[in-house]
Structure 1
Amino acid sequence: MVRRRSMPCIFHSAFLLFILSSLLSAQAPPTARSTTSATPTFRANSRLVQFDVIVLDGNGRPIRGLAQNDFKIFEDGKPQQVRSFDAHETKLTAQPQEPFHLPPHQYTNVPVDEPRGPLTVILFDTLNTPTLDQSAARRHLIEFLNELPRGQQTALFTLGTRLRMVQSFTGQSDVLLAAAQRILSSQSPLLTTEKEHQRNEDDLIYRERMTTPTVTGPGSGAAPQAPQDSDLLAGTTARLRDALTTQEQYQITQRVGITLSSLVELAAMLQGYPGRKNLLWLSGTFPFSFGPNPFVRSEQHDRSNFDIAVHQATSLLSAAQVAVYPIDATGLHTHGVDLTNTGESMTGFDSSTQMPRMNAGFARQMQEESDAQTTMDEIAEQTGGKAFYGTNGLKTAMQRSVDQTSCYYTIAYEPQNQDWNGKFRRISLKTERPGATLQYRRGYYAFPEPEHTPQESTIKLAAAMRPDMPDSTALYFKAQVLPPDTDHHSVRITYLINPQQITFTDAAEGRKHAFLDLLAVAWDRNGKDVGHSADTIDATLTQAEYLKVLRTGLQASQEVTVKPSAYRVRVGAVDRLSQQVGTIDVLLSNAPPK
């Protein structure tokens, strides 16, 4: 038995994520017609830990042809038994498959061609990068994309006050180049640069010097400054210093929150793509680490708000096989006084420490640089990537990130310790190959298997429905999308969902149960919502219905009433138990001309 119910509502696109999440989670279980997998999804009591490893020779080239017995795995110092082993090699010279030839108005999110190597995701970070450094990084990015081998599937995102996709996955360098050239430098509203920090310190030191009482001798003719006035001005300077410190801490906290949520969003989107994904993160600062102690560096903020979030982001990236390659967009660092400032903060002596301010300034800059590099190394180590800093060759860093992953190995083992207590566990991998360097994630957080709520699944689906996100492919389906015509004012959608990716649970009398949410949103050319529909599939199937679904797929239908300005429609589905999402973006054939 299958039931379905939907609830229409109208809202502004700025509140799309919030309202769509509320819309889907608030409605009672509706229905649709269902189909399921030839092999149902089972939940085992034991779990496997899976990770990718890159093996490099002394010249930094990948070593090919290794086998399972070439590796030994240890977790917290205890040997582990390998349960599965796979070798992967990039073959960009292979001929691409012929695209699907579907009937008119039919679409699918099944990839036309399986990736012939790791996917590359470039994250151009304007939130954490000074404006001048963005310009240089963009130039290196364009040079890198200009020489990208054809067929290397690459997507381009920017991180500002939110994550935004500039170009979805494509193996065409010219398309990526055109997208990169549209990226403009923008000043981060939440970043205090070294130049701005020195300028603030210059102003504060000047104020302190001006408010220090002047010692006057007899007969000088000068009236001594009133102590109470000096104290008042000094107190004002102290409060101003505290305010600037509080502002910087607030900015860091905001940047950490935005960056974390964006990485989680990327991980959720990339989880639907098979195999390894390389995330090339071009940024000027990295406000947190992925190690066991993510906030031991110089940037201070409310750590308790983010420790768990950082750990969860690490776990999500690992589950999605995403290796992070932090690349310092500021290039080779030099220390000293910014020439556009007065230099007050780097001259004279600090009365509180009795040390030259110049020495203290250099020490702070070198400590911050060391902390930043250690943070980058930890991010790379905990995800299986590599950090690049202390160089102006950003193009070379990006190229090496891609070249070194042309061959990698995927290893999975079942931990002897099956106590999923959320603690960090260290992974150690060894090989007897002489001179080999191993690149892999160095640990994981032993979180228990999450119990997903309907609210989580709908939030995940709503996030994937944004018009600036690529199609999600964790849940395969085909959709027939019929645009409005003279007889119909709505978009008519028929789903056919792959049963092999639906989680079925046992119900009474030998029946099977499936729970999925459906969402369709129409957009105009300006990215404004001009119509949507949300439904839930609550299917309880007899054995005969279940077997039929396994053969033919789970079918459901929707209608979306749209405004005449509708230009494109995005349709999506999520399996509530597995949280797997699939989306398809469709241009309407009757869309108004530009």
Structure 2
Amino acid sequence: LPGSGTAAAQRTLNAAVPSAGTMFMQGFAVGSSRQISNLTGGRTTAFAAADQAFKRLDESTRSQYLLGYSSTNGDWNGAYRRITVKVNRKDAQVLYRHGYAARQEVKPLNRRDYLTYSRIASAANLPRAIDDLKMRVVKTTVESGPDGMRLSVDMRIGPGAVKFARQDGGYLAKVDALYFCADAKEQLVGENWQTLDFKLTEENYQKFMREGVGYTIYVPLKADAKYLKVILYDYGADLVGSAMVELKK
């Protein structure tokens, strides 16, 4: 298409094709749905034609059994208790609820906790870096700590990368973070989950918006590490940032 028609066609194409960020968030949503369905004995059908989805639903609901039992463990401490259901029919696929929280009263799902875990778990399984929340690994050093070897990680969060809430004359924000190390065979050899609590004055908030902020964390190591992956999640803005680093000896 010549002239302005070409530009119009390109704009139409750009609008029709989802961006990488949109596709990534769709992947998050599908991953969250699959986690819920797997834990509760269901199935998730995504990116499939409607007739295939309904056929799968019909096949999955033709043979159902209601099983119940009373636990002999009377300690209602809120701990997660796993359930396993086995059948003696060869090659049968059994869909069932995989566990429950030992509470006498059922409490509603904590949306923040679930969404945080879902976002971080999805980012951990993604083979590429995510730059929606701007961050970077500045320096890594293997050193001796009070409980053995550990990896010292110097981090930097970019200017304005975190969403703050104004409260009591200051600025508050929380960022959930996961740092984990793997060996040459990609086996986990160390991890550290933490929550970064930011409580800034007006002056420090303005400095953060201009320069960002740096900090240091430590990852305990059970063996030599070759890779480090860092994932940060800002629930307030629903943004994720991740980085993968190959460690140098």
Which among 505, 511, 515 is matched to residue 174 of structure 2? Answer: 515
CA distance in 1, matches of 2:208, 2:165: 14
What residue is the counterpart of 2:72 in the other structure?
Answer: none
**Is the 2:182–2:227 contact (alpha carbons within 8 Å) kept by the matching residues of 1?**
yes
What residue is the counterpart of 2:163 in the other structure?
Answer: 503
**Is the 1:495–1:556 contact (alpha carbons within 8 Å) kept by the matching residues of 2?**
yes
Which among 143, 153, 159 is matched to residue 493 of structure 1? Answer: 153
What residue is the counterpart of 1:335 in the other structure?
Answer: none
What residue is the counterpart of 2:135 in the other structure?
Answer: 477
Which among 55, 61, 65 is matched to residue 7 of structure 2? Answer: 65
Mapped pair 1:541 → 2:200: yes
CA distance in 1, matches of 2:166, 2:144: 45
Q: 1:131-210 counterparts in 2 under 5 A?
A: none
**Is the 1:477–1:496 contact (alpha carbons within 8 Å) kept by the matching residues of 2?**
yes
**Is the 2:179–2:231 contact (alpha carbons within 8 Å) kept by the matching residues of 1?**
yes
Provide the secondary structure at the position in 2 that maps to 1:546.
helix
Tell me which structure has the larger Cα radius of gyration: 1
**Is the 1:572–1:582 contact (alpha carbons within 8 Å) kept by the matching residues of 2?**
yes
CA distance in 2, matches of 1:296, 1:583: 35
What residue is the counterpart of 2:113 in the other structure?
Answer: 454
**Is the 1:473–1:582 contact (alpha carbons within 8 Å) kept by the matching residues of 2?**
yes
Name the CA shift for 1:461/1:303 in 2 (closer, same or farther; >3 Å): farther
- TM-score, structure 2 normalization: 0.58
**Is the 1:482–1:492 contact (alpha carbons within 8 Å) kept by the matching residues of 2?**
yes
How far apart are 1:302 and its partner, in Å? Answer: 5.6
What residue is the counterpart of 2:57 in the other structure?
Answer: 301
How far apart are 1:532 and its partner, in Å? Answer: 0.5
What residue is the counterpart of 2:221 in the other structure?
Answer: 562
How far apart are 1:514 and its partner, in Å? Answer: 0.8
CA distance in 2, matches of 1:583, 1:470: 8
One-letter amino acid of the counterpart of residue 66, structure 1:
A
One-letter amino acid of the counterpart of residue 470, structure 1:
R
One-letter amino acid of the counterpart of residue 301, structure 1:
L
**Is the 1:452–1:579 contact (alpha carbons within 8 Å) kept by the matching residues of 2?**
no
Structure 1 outlier segments of 4+, above 3 Å:
86-90, 294-298, 302-305, 485-488
CA distance in 2, matches of 1:512, 1:533: 26
How far apart are 1:589 and its partner, in Å? Answer: 0.4
- TM-score, structure 1 normalization: 0.26
How far apart are 1:519 and its partner, in Å? Answer: 1.1
One-letter amino acid of the counterpart of residue 177, structure 2:
L
What residue is the counterpart of 2:236 in the other structure?
Answer: 577
RMSD between aligned residues: 3.6
Q: 1:108-507 counterparts in 2 under 5 A?
A: 257=44, 260=46, 288-289=48-49, 294=50, 299-301=55-57, 453-466=112-125, 469-485=127-143, 489-507=149-167
Identity of aligned residues (%): 20
**Is the 1:481–1:491 contact (alpha carbons within 8 Å) kept by the matching residues of 2?**
no
Provide the secondary structure at the position in 2 that maps to 1:484.
strand
Higher relative contact order (CA 8 A, sep 6+): 1
**Is the 1:452–1:576 contact (alpha carbons within 8 Å) kept by the matching residues of 2?**
no
How far apart are 1:300 and its partner, in Å? Answer: 4.3
Q: Deviations over 1:39-79 (max 9, x none)?
A: xxxxxxxxxxxxxxxxxx7xxxxx52229xxxxxxxxxxxx
How far apart are 1:538 and its partner, in Å? Answer: 1.5
Name the CA shift for 1:485/1:556 in 2 (closer, same or farther; >3 Å): closer
What residue is the counterpart of 1:185 in the other structure?
Answer: none
CA distance in 1, matches of 2:237, 2:13: 29
Name the CA shift for 1:505/1:525 in 2 (closer, same or farther; >3 Å): same
Name the CA shift for 1:297/1:492 in 2 (closer, same or farther; >3 Å): closer
**Is the 2:137–2:156 contact (alpha carbons within 8 Å) kept by the matching residues of 1?**
yes
Name the CA shift for 1:297/1:550 in 2 (closer, same or farther; >3 Å): closer
How far apart are 1:489 and its partner, in Å? Answer: 2.5
One-letter amino acid of the counterpart of residue 504, structure 1:
F
**Is the 1:477–1:498 contact (alpha carbons within 8 Å) kept by the matching residues of 2?**
yes
CA distance in 1, matches of 2:157, 2:135: 4
How far apart are 1:560 and its partner, in Å? Answer: 0.5
Provide the secondary structure at the position in 2 that maps to 1:301.
helix
CA distance in 2, matches of 1:516, 1:533: 14
Alignment length (residue pairs): 173
What residue is the counterpart of 1:141 in the other structure?
Answer: none
Q: Structure 2: give runs of 5+ residues left out of the alignment.
A: 21-33, 35-40, 62-109
What residue is the counterpart of 1:184 in the other structure?
Answer: none
Name the CA shift for 1:302/1:494 in 2 (closer, same or farther; >3 Å): farther
**Is the 2:140–2:151 contact (alpha carbons within 8 Å) kept by the matching residues of 1?**
yes
CA distance in 2, matches of 1:297, 1:563: 45
**Is the 1:452–1:577 contact (alpha carbons within 8 Å) kept by the matching residues of 2?**
no
Which among 201, 204, 211 is matched to residue 552 of structure 1? Answer: 211
Name the CA shift for 1:469/1:512 in 2 (closer, same or farther; >3 Å): same
One-letter amino acid of the counterpart of residue 480, structure 1:
V
